[in-house]
Structure 1
Amino acid sequence: MQHRNNYTEIEDFLADESFHLWVCFKDDQQDWEEWTLENSNRAKLVEEARLWLLAMKTPDTDLSSEAVQNALEATWMKIETKEENKNAVTQPVLKLWKNQWFRKVAAILVIGLLSGWFYSQHFGTKNSALTYNELINENDEGLVEQTNNSDKPQIITLSDGSSVLLQPNSKLSYPKIFVGNERKVYLSGEGFFEISKNPQKPFFVFANEIVTKVVGTSFKIKAYANQPNIEVVVRTGKVKVRSNQLIANAKDELIVLLPNQALRFVRKNLIFNKITDITQDESLSHSTSTIEQLGFEFTDIPVAQIFKTIEQAYLVKIDFPQEKLKDCYLTTSLGDQPLPEKLKIICKSLGNNSSYEMNGNQIIIISDGCN
């Protein structure tokens, strides 16, 4: 890591893979931000390198060389004028301008600015955020979009009884009622899914560049638009994952995942990396949530303890008549059931007209005691 202390040219930064990850995908495992802020002169050089790297990421167009040259000269005159007005030091800038490599990169930057409309029309589907929006616009089922702008996960119950634990800074679009012979939802961000079993009506999760198909199982998808990878982690059951057909140049392959297996889709190379044992992957091990760790196999366990386990897993609040249920013990298996189904099974086991009500992350158990 210390070798970058010797970086003196923009080319040095552009040749560093970790610098690319930081600038393009906000992956700062090498502490670039902290290192940059240690020195003001260093910060200026890093900022220049960052701008040229972003410029080099713009697509080519069919603009004529004359149009590019005219735009380049006009843009550079504006840059020089702005620098002079700010009393900036122009000599280093002029020195860079005389550098042939620098002029080429600047030309790329101008091409990118001039081709914004062209890029949005012809390359927009490669942008993961746009992919989510396009998928929604193509759907004619009248979708409801749930956005989690809070700092805590939110539980969403779908019309088929499936449940989704939606993480902060995430959004999920789904129909009020599933119609036809398929169930489709759309995710941008992170969610833990528990799907009601229905072999005649498979469930699809469209998460930007990938599509996950299940019949009835529990799994996590992490598909933030500004991160370098998309991850699918299976807790129970089996899922099938393929690339979204809107993504050009992605390999058309189908990956099957079983419990404790995962898949990482690398956006940079558009490739799938299958992980057969998630405990051997440090990144996945550290990101495992509570709901993925807890077990739901109960043998003669106080119902109050079962409710506590559910609260920990789903980050919900359960109110129940503690005095009436204090002597109630249950033996049940709730491993791969969605949250509503778990609650139904518990209430049915308790008997005595037991029922539940859900309002967001608040759950109320109504019961006169156990049988």
Structure 2
Amino acid sequence: MQNRNQYTQVEDFLDDKSFRQWILHNTNSENWERWTVEHPERAKLVEEARICILAMKVDQTPVLQSTVSSALQQTWNRIATKEATLHHTENTRIKIWNAPWFKNTAALFLILLSIAWGFKHFVYTTESETVYEELIIENNEGLVEQTNNSKNPQIITLSDGSSVLLQPESKISYPKIFSTTERKVYLSGEAFFEISKNKKKPFYVFANEVITKVVGTSFRICAFENQPNVEVIVRTGKVKVTSNNENSKTNKEEVTLLPNEAIRFVRQTAKFDKITDITKDVILKQATKNIEQLSFEFTDIPVNQIFKTIEQAYQVEIDFPKEALKNCHLTTSLSDQPLPEKLKIICKSLGNNTTYEMNGNVIIISSEGCN
């Protein structure tokens, strides 16, 4: 799904699952209503797309070509009759197929038929699957939704200290405070997770058809709604993956993944494909992010270099007193730690009232120097 700010045609909205869910099920209505108000120049496109979607909200039955041709011919006849009536008193003969409004109407009609017929499996078969919108509706924890409409990753800190690096065109829903027994979040798109360790409260990521269960580890999930596969890639620790798709042939199968292993859920076949060495998979190798490649093991490394590594990994900006910390070196292990924990370890190691503050993708370090 592309950035909605770039939508210029009705088809852009029709192809947006979130938009369709808003029109059909009133899901995420506040987000879309606010966006529509902020972009009044797209109000006409939104209304035309809404009419198209509502027109398609009928039971899907096989449509014969003869039926399509007959319906189209009847529509043309009605339009021709209307055109003749409107211009009866003008003594002007205009070929109806040259009228701009007719061309627009016919084009819209053809779009409706083609979408209702040709995109049958794309639009309606997903309603039998467990998808992001349905999952968050079932949750009763009062979820907060974060959508990344920017071109850069966004860092999100959860109430348990876990961190999520949310990629562009992705969204995640999570409770302000996790329950006493488990931690659940819901993802549509791509994100890198670093989970705070808590054996008594397992962490679950519901990413459309796939459920990933962890205790404390780091991993990436790619689960865009318009892509053929869902992928889970483990960097550290261990995760367990199961299918959340009722139609899946591996619905009850639980796959355990270790570091540098991955699982690919193929939507077309509803099957799991386990990859034991991600470096040998071309698709996974090309999609690897900085945070998965950089090392967080530091031995007598200047603090400014450690901050630079964190900036590269999380795509954040760190503002720190360069003069006060110019001679500071650290030896520490920050692997398998969420971003807030990494920052706490650094501040504690430096001492001298060193603290940090996170404001979106900007981190401010306050310090009087190192011990």
With the length of structure 2 as denominator, give the TM-score of the two structures.
0.70
- In the TM superposition, residue 278 of structure 1 has moved relative to its aligned partner by 0.5
Please list the CA deviations of residues 306-357 of structure 1 after superposition, one character each: whole Å capped at 9, or x if unmatched: 0000000001000111111111111100110000000000001011111100
Q: What is the 5 A alignment of 1:53-92?
A: 71-72=67-68, 74-78=70-74, 86=97
1:369 aligns to what SS in structure 2? coil
Residues 123 and 322 of structure 1, relative CA distance in 2, 3 Å threshold: closer
Aligned partners of 2:142, 2:239: CA distance in 1, in Å?
26
Please name the residue that 2:153 is paired with. Answer: 153
The answer to whether the aligner puts 1:125 opposite 2:119 as a matched pair is: no
The answer to whether the aligner puts 1:219 opposite 2:222 as a matched pair is: no
Q: What is the 5 A alignment of 1:188-203?
A: 188-203=188-203
Aligned partners of 2:126, 2:151: CA distance in 1, in Å?
33
- In the TM superposition, residue 177 of structure 1 has moved relative to its aligned partner by 0.7
Residues 224 and 79 of structure 1, relative CA distance in 2, 3 Å threshold: farther
Aligned partners of 1:361, 1:335: CA distance in 2, in Å?
20
CA RMSD after TM alignment = 3.1
Residues 86 and 282 of structure 1, relative CA distance in 2, 3 Å threshold: farther
Whether the 8 Å CA contact 2:298–2:331 is kept in 1: the answer is yes
Please name the residue that 2:358 is paired with. Answer: 358
Residues 313 and 62 of structure 1, relative CA distance in 2, 3 Å threshold: closer
AA at the equivalent of 2:138 = E
Residues 70 and 265 of structure 1, relative CA distance in 2, 3 Å threshold: same
The answer to whether the aligner puts 1:336 opposite 2:336 as a matched pair is: yes
- Runs ≥4 residues deviating over 4 A: 67-73, 78-82, 84-87, 109-113
- In the TM superposition, residue 250 of structure 1 has moved relative to its aligned partner by 3.7
Whether the 8 Å CA contact 2:145–2:172 is kept in 1: the answer is yes
Give identity over the alignment, percent. Answer: 64
Q: What is the 5 A alignment of 1:37-52?
A: none
Please name the residue that 2:278 is paired with. Answer: 278
Aligned partners of 2:60, 2:365: CA distance in 1, in Å?
65
2:216 aligns to what SS in structure 1? coil
- In the TM superposition, residue 125 of structure 1 has moved relative to its aligned partner by 3.0
Please list the CA deviations of residues 102-157 of structure 1 after superposition, one character each: whole Å capped at 9, or x if unmatched: xxxxxxx79955x98xx95x86133x7xx100000000000000000000000000
- In the TM superposition, residue 86 of structure 1 has moved relative to its aligned partner by 4.8
Whether the 8 Å CA contact 1:68–1:111 is kept in 2: the answer is no
Aligned partners of 1:139, 1:346: CA distance in 2, in Å?
37
Whether the 8 Å CA contact 1:175–1:185 is kept in 2: the answer is yes
Residues 68 and 203 of structure 1, relative CA distance in 2, 3 Å threshold: same
With the length of structure 1 as denominator, give the TM-score of the two structures.
0.70
Whether the 8 Å CA contact 1:203–1:215 is kept in 2: the answer is yes
Whether the 8 Å CA contact 1:192–1:219 is kept in 2: the answer is yes
Please list the CA deviations of residues 30-88 of structure 1 after superposition, one character each: whole Å capped at 9, or x if unmatched: xxxxxxxxxxxxxxxxxxxxxxxxxxxx9xx796x9x9799556425358769x9658x
The number of aligned residues is: 284
Aligned partners of 2:264, 2:144: CA distance in 1, in Å?
28
Aligned partners of 1:295, 1:181: CA distance in 2, in Å?
33
Aligned partners of 1:149, 1:358: CA distance in 2, in Å?
20
Aligned partners of 1:111, 1:169: CA distance in 2, in Å?
24
Whether the 8 Å CA contact 1:171–1:187 is kept in 2: the answer is yes
Residues 75 and 350 of structure 1, relative CA distance in 2, 3 Å threshold: same
Whether the 8 Å CA contact 1:197–1:215 is kept in 2: the answer is yes
Residues 110 and 217 of structure 1, relative CA distance in 2, 3 Å threshold: closer
- In the TM superposition, residue 179 of structure 1 has moved relative to its aligned partner by 1.2
- In the TM superposition, residue 206 of structure 1 has moved relative to its aligned partner by 0.4
